[in-house]
């Protein structure tokens, strides 16, 4: 019985550390100042690991109509940002848990138009009442920072979710 208790305690420590087997939690944080400056001028600077390269490329090819806004960039900034997104896209960041799950949720040949339309992100939000997502303080699942208190660090853990007008999220 003592051996069982010791093994149980030891295994809980091993499996509590998500990095034990080399995987990293969340997604790689944004580390490009031009991307951060340009994109966060209008919205949260989403981590590139939240979408595959083909989605980022599709988005970058239509910046004059970027979610009903003209987000056209200077040529030099465009190249820097596009390169950054491609080099850090979800399929190139599979060592991060969320990036890996996002990539694995997308059907072959599919090109999600936004992070909030990827199957994994939709699945992670399916238990939340639509009224909480659509409320003025949140607006939609695209607004990560409205509920994910550590989103800017690339951490989207359930323990760090506080939904406006609801409180801490307990799944």
DSSP string, 100-167: HHHHHHSPTT---SSGGGSHHHHHHTTTS-HHHHHSTTT-STT-GGGTBTTGGGT---GGGBEETTTE
Q: Angle at which helices 75-87 and 53-60 pack, to 10 degrees? A: 160
**Cα–Cα distance measured from residue 63 to residue 11, given in angstroms and rounded to the nearest whole number:** 49
Q: What is the pLDDT of residues 24-41, one digit of tens each?
A: 889 999 999 999 999 999
pTM of the model: 0.84
Residue pair 84/38 in contact (Cβ under 8 Å)? The answer is no
- pLDDT tens digits for 62-113? 999 999 999 999 999 999 999 999 999 999 999 999 999 999 999 999 999 9
The answer on pLDDT for 19 being more than 60 is no
> Which pLDDT score is estimated for 12?
43
> Could you report the per-residue pLDDT of 135-156, keeping only the tens digit for each?
999 999 999 999 999 999 999 9
Which structure tokens are listed for 76?
A: 């030099």
Residue 24 confidence (pLDDT): 85
- Which pLDDT does position 25 carry in this prediction? 83
112: Cα separation from own chain's centroid: 13
């Amino acid at each position: 019985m003592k051996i069982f208790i010791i093994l149980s305690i030891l295994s809980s420590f091993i499996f509590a550390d998500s990095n034990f087997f080399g995987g990293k939690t969340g997604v790689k944080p944004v580390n490009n100042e031009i991307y951060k400056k340009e994109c966060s001028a209008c919205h949260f600077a989403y981590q590139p690991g939240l979408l595959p390269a083909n989605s980022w490329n599709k988005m970058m090819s239509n910046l004059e109509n970027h979610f009903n806004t003209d987000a056209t960039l200077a040529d030099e900034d465009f190249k820097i940002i596009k390169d950054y997104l491609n080099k850090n896209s979800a399929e190139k960041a599979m060592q991060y848990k969320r990036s890996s799950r996002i990539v694995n949720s997308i059907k072959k040949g599919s090109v999600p138009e936004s992070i909030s339309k990827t199957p994994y992100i939709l699945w992670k939000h399916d238990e939340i009442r639509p009224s909480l997502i659509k409320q003025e303080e949140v607006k939609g699942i695209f607004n990560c920072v409205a509920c994910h208190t550590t989103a800017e660090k690339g951490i989207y853990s359930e323990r760090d979710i506080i939904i406006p007008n609801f409180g801490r999220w307990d799944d």
